[in-house]
Structure formats: C-alpha cells, structure tokens
Chain A
Amino acid sequence: MQKINKNVVLALLSLTSLVFLLFQLYYYKFYLSQKNGAVFSKVKGSQSGPDSTRWHVVRKFLGLISSHNIPVYLIDPLILGLVDKDIEQIRSSSDGPSPECKYFCAPRDFTTFALLDKTWKHEVGLFRTAEKMGFQWLKIINKDPRLDGMDDLSGIEIPLHYIFKLASHAIHLVVFYERSGNYLWHGPLRLKQHMDRKFVPFRKLHFGRYPGAYEKPELLLVSIDDLKVQIPKNPSSFLEEMSHSRFLECRYREARAFFQLYPDDASLDAVEFRKKAKSLLHVAALTLNNLGVKFWLSSGTCLGWYRQCNIIPHSKDVDLGVFIRDYKADIIPAFQKAGLPLKHKFGKVEDSLELSFQGGNDVKLDIFFFYEEDDHIWNGGTQAKSGKKFKYLFPKFTLCWTEFVELKVHVPCETLQYVEANYGPDWKVPVKMWDWKSSPSNVQYNGVWPVDEWDDVIQIY
C-alpha cells in the first residue's frame, strides 16, 4: 500500500511539477514577447533586423487617423534620423513600391507623431474606431497653460498626449498647441495616480519629459516604406530644434503672490513703459533671430520674467544676454537698420563686450556678451568716465524656451541660480535704486582698461 502510494504520489508530483514548469516556461516566453525587449533587453538583447509588426501598427494607425481626417505628422527622432540620410531620394522618389522596409521596421518601442490641436475636433469616434481596430489607448490630460497666467480662470483640462498600443508596438501622439508668440507648445507627460504605469515604458518616450517649444514646421508629404506620411520639410533642423526644445512655464502662481505683497504699478507711466519695452523686445528678438544669434533674457528683464511674469515698470531698459561665440559683426548694422542706433559699445570681442542701442522711445536695449570658463560664465561692465572694468560671475547654465510678453524667448534653465547670482538672496524684494557697479552680488572689480585702448573699448554715440 505504502509503496503504491509513494509511487502514485511521486508520479503525481512529477506530473504537476512538469505541468507547472511548462506553464512557467510558456509564461516566461509570453512575458518576454509582450515586453518586446523593453524590459528584458538586458536578457534578450534588443531585437535587431527588420520587423514588420511595427510597420503594420504604423499602417493601421495612419489608416485610423486618415479615416477621421486628422492631420498628423511624423516627429519620431529615430525615423526622422534615418529619413534625413536619404532625404533627397525620398523627396524626389515617386510612389513606386519600395524594395525593403527600411524606416518603419527599424527597431524601436514607439513611433511618435504630432498633432496640431486646432486642426481637429475632439471626437470620441476616433477612440471607438481605435478600439475596434484592436488598439488600446491612453490619454494624458492636464491644465491648459494658456490660461495659467490668468488670475482666476478655472481652465479646462486639455489632452496633451495620446498613446495607442497594438501588439508589441505603441504610437505616441503628441498634441501641439499654438501659443501667443507664434510658436507651438507641447506639454509634459505626467501620470495621474490612477493611471496604468506599465501601459508602456514611459521612460523611453522621446517627448514628454519636459514641455517643449517649437517653431511651426513646414510639412512635406512623402511616401516612406509604402506609407504616405507627413514629415517636417527639413528633418535635420527639426531634430536640432528638438534637442533644445525644453520649455519653462512662467511661475504664475509665485508672480501672483508677489503682486499680493507688492501691488503692481498701474500708473500711466508704467503702462507706457511696459508698452515701449515690449515693442523694443519684439524688435530686438526679430532682429537677432533673423541673424541667427541666440539670445536670452538677462538681468532686470530676466528678473521681471522670473519674479512677476512681466516687465518691471521701474527698470529703465531691456537686457539681453548673448554668448560671445555667437557674436556677429552684423549685429550693429542690423539693429541700425531696424531703427535702433548704437548708443555705446564697451569692451571688445576678446574681453567684456557690451552693446547698447537706443530704442525708439527712450528705452535702452543692452546686449551683454557672456564668456564661458571651465566652471563659470561671466560678462563684463565698463565705467565710461574712469575706464574701470567690472566682471559679473554666473554659475554655468543652459538655455530653455519660455513665453514672455507674447514672445518665445530663451531664459537660463537654471533661472533661480542665475537670478540669485545677480541679485542675491533678496531678489524677491523690489529695489528701485540700483547701481550696476555695486548693487549686483556677483560683481567683481576687474582692473582698468589701458588708456591707449580707450578709444576702442569705450565708444559712446
């Protein structure tokens, strides 16, 4: 009895463990294929070589989109990178079938498309069709930043990202919004608490870590891998733009708190000054952008943006920063042409360069040139009557886009450090008396210009 029992038990045990093992193997395999190397890439290695699943998913998605008349365009950096290499050929090629699946089959987890918000109505029908076609989808919404700056509007939440998933591939659809300043904006991708964190490996998305700002792209309808799709006309410049697209929203809430403490100056003078400064900034931005000179808001103008999302009415000028490597001799004639004559020029390209232009109506435009060192960045100042030199030190920073007085402009991404370096820890308190030689907390005395150079380094018009 015991023996039989044992044998039976043994056999049963073996059987169950076999079944279990098989199940486990099956599950393991299933898990692997589902994740498609996303998670187990270390184990299995990224799939290489063409895979038609991706192509099929993209084709299905494009079919879905076109059946609802929604104009999307391709912004996937991987594919655009491949496309860019063959751009001439793609532009000129006719609709003939392509020999191999070269672009849409390339290994990747996502294919990213862009959608201009104003070109479609938010129809539920799209999602119903998507579901029928087998897509799972996720919508990420958040507050409308275009209403963020406004005192007490409870804005509607707007869709920022959509993700459509089918089989092992996902489509990331980024929604772009037009904003004041004639540019396009996309929002950050933030998951709310109840959302499925494992829907896709979010970290691998190319868009959504930060909000971004872009120029409106010119589009081109091309046929790649037998799929008709719109792409930016110039993929390489789009990719370049993408690498510096990070956008910072103005700190509207803090600005409101600031105005609670220090009510805004609503006098006619203040209104007038803001109007003049705004139009000067618009002219300056247009001129520098045309020359391709990258600039950012500096000093008081930057403080105004950071602290109160507006021009400080008691500042007397508009301040911009430019890296000295971006300096162009054309700057002065270009401004002259735009109606802003040179007021003074201090320093030289090699050292402490600073240009001031006279705006049309008593507002001065200062352009400070910044010199990069290993561990800091600085710009120079010169006192005209004594020839004394000053140096203003800043920690290293990178540039981000923001919106200011209906303009898309750069500011240092690390704005707080920049403002604190310049204005000290009490930058939140408005100061009306400001001496550029002594007030800044980052000023250093930097010697005197040699007298024989004065004619060159101190030019006043």
Chain B
Amino acid sequence: MDEWKSNPAVKPHKKRSCYLAWKYKLMNQRALRKLCQTGAVLFLLVTVIVNIKLILDTRRAAYEEEEESAQDYDDEMLNVEVPRHPVSNKKVLDVEVYSSRSKVYVAVDGTTVLEDEAREQGRGIHVIVLNQATGHVMAKRVFDTYSPHEDEAMVLFLNMIARGRILIFTIKDEGSFHLKDTAKNVLKSLGSQVAPFLSWRDMWTFVGKKGGEVYGEKHAKSPALSTWGDPVLLKTEVHLTSVEGGKCWELTRRRKRFCSKVEGYGSVCSCKDPTPIEFNPDPLKDNKVFDVPVAVIAGNRPNYLYRMLRSLLSAQGVSPQMITVFIDGYYEEPMDVVELFGLSGIQHTPISIKNARVSQHYKASLTATFNLFPDAKFAVVLEEDLDISVDFFSFLSQSIHLLEEDESLYCISAWNDQGYEHTAEDPSLLYRVETMPGLGWVLRKSLYKDELEPKWPTPEKLWDWDMWMRMPEQRKGRECIIPDISRSYHFGIVGLNMNGYFHEAYFKKHKFNTVPNVQLKNVESLRKDAYETEIHRLLGEAEVLDHSKNPCEDSFVPDTEGRVYVMFIRMEQEADFTTWTQLAKCLHIWDLDVRGNHKGLWRLFRKKNHFLVVGVPASPYSSKKPSSVTPIYMEPPAKEEGAVA
C-alpha cells in the first residue's frame, strides 16, 4: 500500500514535454487512479470486514451447534466400531492344513479357523469352504466317513457349493472306511490325485478351488492295519480373486448378503431359480393367534434352523413380525440364517453347562418374549429341530381359547408323544393328557410370570427345563391339549440328548400332519368336565377286546376300520405303569417314561380303529370294565433282556 501512495508524486516529472497533450489525460488518469485506489481500498476493507464477520458468525454458529448437539445428545458410550476381521488388501492367503490321528487344524493367514483335538470326536473328513474373494470361512463341516452314509452327505454338500469357492479337506483319525467310489470320484473331480486311493487310516490334506486349480495336496499312507499314517502338514498359498464371480443373480439384498457369507444351503444361492426366501402362505380366516409371539429356541445348528424356519414361514397364518429367534451363544451362521429370512434374532451369552445351559436359555428367551410383546397373553415356543405343519397356526387358532378359559389346562402342544405312523389316524381329533409333551407348544403368560419364572431352576441345577415343568410341583394336576396327529415333526438327530439310533427308534416314524385347513372337531368337548362326558360316551360305545389274546399281536385288534375298542390292563395305583410300559414297548411307541395318559386312560389308534387302554383299578374309568374281564398283566422282562428291546 505504501508503494502505491508514493507513486503519484514521482510520475508528473516524466510528462512535462508534452504537457498539454497529457494534461487532460493525466488529470483524468490521476482522478481515475485516485478513484480506483480509493475504490480498491474500500472494496478491500469491506471484503475484509465482511469476511471477518462471516467467519466469526459461522464459527460461532458452528461452535454453538456443536456444543448444542454435544451437550445432551451425545451417546455416553464411545461406540467406536471395530471391524471384526481387519480387512487387508492382501491378495494371497497362507493356508496351513494339518491331518493326524488325534488332531486336525486349519489356519488361514495365521488365524486358526479349525482346531479339533478332542478325543473320541470329530473323526472323518473335515471340510472348510472359504470365500475366494475375501478369504472368510463360509462353511465348516465334518463327515464321519468311517461310518456308513456319511459320504453321501458329503457328496450332497460338495455339490451344493458354488463354483469358485476354495475347499480345504483334512482327515482326522479315519476317513476312508465308508468312503465309496462316488465320493472318491467327486474328490477326484475337484483335482485330488490321492482321493481315489485313500485307504485305511491314511492321513490326507487337500486345498483346491471348486472347478479350478489345486493349491496343494499331501498324503501319508498307513504302513499297517494297526497304525496310522504319519501326520501331514500342508502349507500353501491361495490367490484371492479380486471380485467374486457369479454375479449372476438378480438377488435381493438379504440373499446377496447371505450368499456371500455362508455356503452349504443349496439352491438358496444358485443362479437359476434360487429357492424362494419369501413364502406368503395363505392367511387364515379369523386367525386368533395372529398376534401371539413365537419364540424359536436355537443353538448352533444353522442347517436345522434353516429347515425349521422354512417350514414355519410356510405355515398358513404365520405372522413373521411376531417371530423372534433366540440363539444360545454368539454364533454367526444361525444369525445369518435368521437375517436371510428377514426375522429378528437375539443372541444369548451361554450360562452354565449342558442341560442347565439349555434351561437358562429357555428362561431368558421366554422372559424376553414377554418383554418384547407386553400385550401378549400367550407365547408359542418352538425349537430349531422341528418341522412345523402347514396347519400349525390353524390348529392353535381353533384351540387357544380353551387355554384362556380353562384353568385346568397347562399348555397346548402340537406334539403327540404316542402319535406314530401306526398309532395316529385322525387329524381333527384332540386329547387331554397329563404330561407336557413340549416340541411346539403354547405357554400362557400368567403361568410363566406368576409361577414358573420366579422359581425357574437356577444355573447351578443341572435340570432339564421340560422335566422340571413336568414335575407335580409345577404342573399341579393341570393337563395339556394335544392333537392325535402331531403338528410338529422332530427331525433333529444331533443334539444334547439325541443320537441317530435314538432318533430312528423314537422319532423317525412319528406321524406329521400335512393336510392344510383341518377343521378340528368338537373342540368344546376338551374342557375339563365336557371331556369326562366325552370319555364316558366313548367307553360306553367301545367294544371290549378279547383279553385272552396277546395284546402285542396284530390279531388282538379285529381287522375293522373306524370302530372303538377298549382293553383293560392292570394298574394297582396311580403310579403303577408296569403293564403299560410293556405294552408300549411291544406296540413300538414311546416307552421311556409314561406319556399321553389321562386318569389312567390312553387313547391311540390301531389298524384305523380307536383303541382305548384303561388301567384297572387305579383309573376312575375302571367301572366300565365288565366283571368277566380280567385286566391284562405283562411282566417286565429280566434285566438283560430289557437291554435288547
């Protein structure tokens, strides 16, 4: 600025020679210059002032606002979300796979994704599926190919995996005994050189891409029948693809998310006609259970949960927004399944162990259900290993008013313990029973809140929640309503109290209703007093069977249809189930404890005839026994025989 001001004094010296010519110009220029100078200075000043004001104003405003929002509306907790798996831009994964008699492990980039050194467990071929773009584990399975049929399951599983996924195999202990040629060929087609020649107690590891390159394979032959092959450790590198292939589908967001995370759910993620994940079953007319919350109790059996939710969401009258899935533990895959179907899921920190853990999980789930739906008078309780009948909600809708009005009822259950293929017949028929079957049932809120919740077994008591609920202190003589043909089907064969043999013997042949819209008959006769009238009517019309014959034989019941028959067995007092248990055993129905009785009476079907069994003299219905008939007594077998049966 100073420079500018000193200039005008210097300039006129140069213009003297042509004064006139310049005078006007100069004057003009000088005035102009002065004007310009003043103008510029003014402008500058104004600009500066406005600038400063603006800066001050905005800063003040921003500051105030910051303070404003900060004061009351800040989350107290610093919710800095740390990504669970730090994402690296690495294109190569280091994979380590170990196979030995007693231990297997798989490490991906230094992170152990599988480690199994438990004794007597995890025998067979372990399979891990990785996402070829991210390296995330999408599925983890073990197939005990030492045992029969497991290789078929493995083939099924491998066929369901999308092309391009990375597969990791490792054997623990033994994996070849029941590994048939079909399975070996599938492994061969994946690029394995060794698979066709895998034999007894060989150790084997293999890493490859489905439908693509092989990243590595190692094998150790067992030198002799009695020994195992040496442990093998395979170290290899897997190149990640930049983008996931198979951008073939027009997938919904939910499906896309699911399919990029997990594997092994078959056509959910297939390109052509993927299995639907929306079901839209017909609504029920006059649905009385539309607003009853449904609690699905789940553990870490995501495939089961997937099957279960499919059947549940396909049932007529289902309200998805009333469903909550409670997962016992922080397992990701079950949660992925829940999200795939757009349902809400809640995870529960495991408390205690074994049965007590299940029991605590039940309690938390039930309490949470009634908290989330404070208006609800009932809750439907389901487990993850049940198929749900298409008319499940229709069945409940027709019977739920009984639970509301009849104080002598404990629950409504979809499960008939004695309802096997050969002993259940009538989908419209209901019973009252003194036992609590569970496996898909309705709980009254008042029962839970006033009686069960306050004295629910504490974590240190290793009780089964259902056994506890069946105890007389809890049940207090109340009964449950069940259908003749179950509205749920128990398909789980892996579980806490479950194994393949047990399932085959007691659950596989259970009858399951598949008929939609069954109209239940005579629902009012299930009320306490009406039911007695009904039983007396039934016994009145029932034909007494020939008690000289062997009740286990088929010929015990005539070859008729639609008749009502009655037989009398010996039952000295209320708790004497000696003969009943033997009868149940030979009829191939539930005999592990007493189920399905009502005042010493059992109702089932034989050869399509209604078949009543009355315990004499303990049952109040004993009076219906003609004096000529001697109640049948069946002796329990000696101990060693019992084990065989």
* A268-B33 contact given A191-B75, A201-B65, CB 8 Å threshold: no
Report A-chain residues with C-beta under 8 Å of the C-beta of B250.
Answer: none
A182 touches B57 (CB 8 A): no
* A203-B458 contact given A3-B11, A178-B375, CB 8 Å threshold: no
* A193-B367 contact given A14-B39, A20-B47, A152-B349, CB 8 Å threshold: no
B74 touches A150 (CB 8 A): no
The stretch that binds B, out of A35-43, A47-55, A95-103, A325-333, is: A35-43
Q: In the complex, given contacts A21-B46, A146-B371, A202-B68, what are 7 additional A-B residue pairs having Cβ atoms less than 8 angstroms apart?
A: A3-B11, A21-B43, A39-B61, A121-B321, A124-B253, A152-B364, A266-B455
CA distance A198 to B73 in the complex (A): 12
CA distance A345 to B33 in the complex (A): 99
Closest Cβ of chain B: how far from A268's Cβ, in Å? 7
Report B-chain residues with C-beta under 8 Å of the C-beta of A24.
Answer: 47, 50-51, 54
A-B contact pairs, 23 of them (CB 8 A): A3-B11, A11-B36, A20-B47, A21-B43, A24-B51, A25-B50, A35-B61, A39-B64, A118-B321, A150-B368, A151-B364, A154-B347, A178-B373, A178-B374, A180-B374, A193-B75, A193-B79, A193-B80, A197-B69, A198-B69, A203-B71, A275-B450, A406-B449
CA distance A180 to B373 in the complex (A): 8
A7 interfacial contact with B, CB 8 Å: yes
Report A-chain residues with C-beta under 8 Å of the C-beta of B73.
Answer: 189-191, 202-203, 208-209
A147 touches B43 (CB 8 A): no
A146 touches B372 (CB 8 A): yes
Report A-chain residues with C-beta under 8 Å of the C-beta of B553.
Answer: none
A433 interfacial contact with B, CB 8 Å: no
Closest Cβ of chain A: how far from B557's Cβ, in Å? 49
Chain B, interface size category, equals: 35 or more
B111 interfacial contact with A, CB 8 Å: no
A192 interfacial contact with B, CB 8 Å: yes
Closest Cβ of chain B: how far from A384's Cβ, in Å? 34
Chain A, interface size category, equals: 35 or more
Report A-chain residues with C-beta under 8 Å of the C-beta of B345.
Answer: 156
Closest Cβ of chain A: how far from B22's Cβ, in Å? 12
CA distance A153 to B68 in the complex (A): 34
* A275-B43 contact given A40-B61, A202-B69, CB 8 Å threshold: no
B47 touches A31 (CB 8 A): no
Report A-chain residues with C-beta under 8 Å of the C-beta of B72.
Answer: 202-203, 209
A 258-283 to B, binary, CB cutoff 8 A, 1 in contact else 0: 00000000101001001100000000
Report A-chain residues with C-beta under 8 Å of the C-beta of B74.
Answer: 190-191
Q: B14-67: which have CB < 8 Å to A?
A: 29, 33, 36-37, 39-40, 43-44, 46-47, 50-51, 54, 57-58, 61-62, 64-66
A155 interfacial contact with B, CB 8 Å: yes
B78 interfacial contact with A, CB 8 Å: yes
Report A-chain residues with C-beta under 8 Å of the C-beta of B11.
Answer: 3
Q: Which of B364, B449, B454 contacts A153 (CB 8 A)?
A: B364
B 338-380 to A, binary, CB cutoff 8 A, 1 in contact else 0: 0000001111110100000000000010011011111100000
B70 interfacial contact with A, CB 8 Å: yes
B346 touches A155 (CB 8 A): yes
CA distance A276 to B61 in the complex (A): 57
Report A-chain residues with C-beta under 8 Å of the C-beta of B58.
Answer: 31
- Shortest Cβ-Cβ A-B pairs, 4 listed: A152-B349, A203-B68, A180-B374, A190-B75
Q: A112-126: which have CB < 8 Å to B?
A: 118, 121, 124
Q: A28-85: which have CB < 8 Å to B?
A: 28, 31, 35, 39-40, 43
Q: A130-174: which have CB < 8 Å to B?
A: 142, 144, 146-147, 149-156
A151 touches B351 (CB 8 A): yes
B501 interfacial contact with A, CB 8 Å: no
A107 interfacial contact with B, CB 8 Å: no
B 426-466 to A, binary, CB cutoff 8 A, 1 in contact else 0: 00000000000000000000000110001100100000000
B43 touches A17 (CB 8 A): yes
Q: Which residues of B are interface residues toward A (Cβ below 8 A)?
A: 4, 7, 11, 29, 33, 36-37, 39-40, 43-44, 46-47, 50-51, 54, 57-58, 61-62, 64-66, 68-76, 78-80, 253, 321, 326, 330, 344-349, 351, 364, 367-368, 370-375, 449-450, 454-455, 458
CA distance A181 to B375 in the complex (A): 9
CA distance A200 to B57 in the complex (A): 18
A432 interfacial contact with B, CB 8 Å: no
CA distance A31 to B60 in the complex (A): 14
Report A-chain residues with C-beta under 8 Å of the C-beta of B7.
Answer: 2, 6
CA distance A151 to B363 in the complex (A): 10
In this complex, the member of A181, A192, A209 whose beta carbon has the largest number of chain B beta carbons within 10 angstroms is A192
Closest Cβ of chain A: how far from B544's Cβ, in Å? 47
Report A-chain residues with C-beta under 8 Å of the C-beta of B64.
Answer: 39
CA distance A20 to B48 in the complex (A): 10
A147 touches B36 (CB 8 A): no
Nearest neighbor of A31 in chain B, beta-carbon distance: B58
* A154-B330 contact given A24-B47, A43-B57, A203-B72, CB 8 Å threshold: yes
* A14-B321 contact given A178-B375, A271-B455, CB 8 Å threshold: no
Nearest neighbor of A120 in chain B, beta-carbon distance: B321
CA distance A104 to B527 in the complex (A): 57
Nearest neighbor of A183 in chain B, beta-carbon distance: B374
CA distance A98 to B66 in the complex (A): 41
Report A-chain residues with C-beta under 8 Å of the C-beta of B46.
Answer: 21
Closest Cβ of chain B: how far from A250's Cβ, in Å? 12
Q: A1-16: which have CB < 8 Å to B?
A: 2-3, 6-7, 10-11, 13-14
CA distance A281 to B11 in the complex (A): 100
Nearest neighbor of B60 in chain A, beta-carbon distance: A39
Nearest neighbor of A13 in chain B, beta-carbon distance: B40
A7 touches B33 (CB 8 A): yes
Q: Which of A144, A154, A198 contacts B65 (CB 8 A)?
A: A198
B371 touches A147 (CB 8 A): yes
Report B-chain residues with C-beta under 8 Å of the C-beta of A268.
Answer: 455
In this complex, the member of A43, A151, A153, A189 whose beta carbon has the largest number of chain B beta carbons within 10 angstroms is A153
Nearest neighbor of A199 in chain B, beta-carbon distance: B69
Report A-chain residues with C-beta under 8 Å of the C-beta of B75.
Answer: 142, 190-193
CA distance A39 to B371 in the complex (A): 42
A179 interfacial contact with B, CB 8 Å: yes
CA distance A262 to B465 in the complex (A): 26
CA distance A193 to B351 in the complex (A): 33
B43 touches A10 (CB 8 A): no
B372 touches A147 (CB 8 A): yes
Nearest neighbor of B75 in chain A, beta-carbon distance: A190
Report B-chain residues with C-beta under 8 Å of the C-beta of A429.
Answer: none
CA distance A193 to B508 in the complex (A): 54
A18 interfacial contact with B, CB 8 Å: yes
A18 touches B43 (CB 8 A): yes
Closest Cβ of chain A: how far from B541's Cβ, in Å? 46
Report B-chain residues with C-beta under 8 Å of the C-beta of A271.
Answer: 454-455
A21 touches B47 (CB 8 A): yes
CA distance A86 to B217 in the complex (A): 84
Report A-chain residues with C-beta under 8 Å of the C-beta of B61.
Answer: 35, 39-40
B349 touches A179 (CB 8 A): no
Report B-chain residues with C-beta under 8 Å of the C-beta of A40.
Answer: 57, 61
Closest Cβ of chain A: how far from B326's Cβ, in Å? 8
Report B-chain residues with C-beta under 8 Å of the C-beta of A190.
Answer: 73-76
Nearest neighbor of A146 in chain B, beta-carbon distance: B371
CA distance A146 to B374 in the complex (A): 10
* A17-B40 contact given A35-B61, A154-B348, CB 8 Å threshold: yes
* A197-B346 contact given A21-B46, A31-B58, A208-B73, CB 8 Å threshold: no
Q: Which of B346, B370, B374 contacts A156 (CB 8 A)?
A: B346
CA distance A197 to B67 in the complex (A): 10
A153 touches B65 (CB 8 A): no
Report B-chain residues with C-beta under 8 Å of the C-beta of A144.
Answer: 372
CA distance A153 to B72 in the complex (A): 28
CA distance A17 to B42 in the complex (A): 10
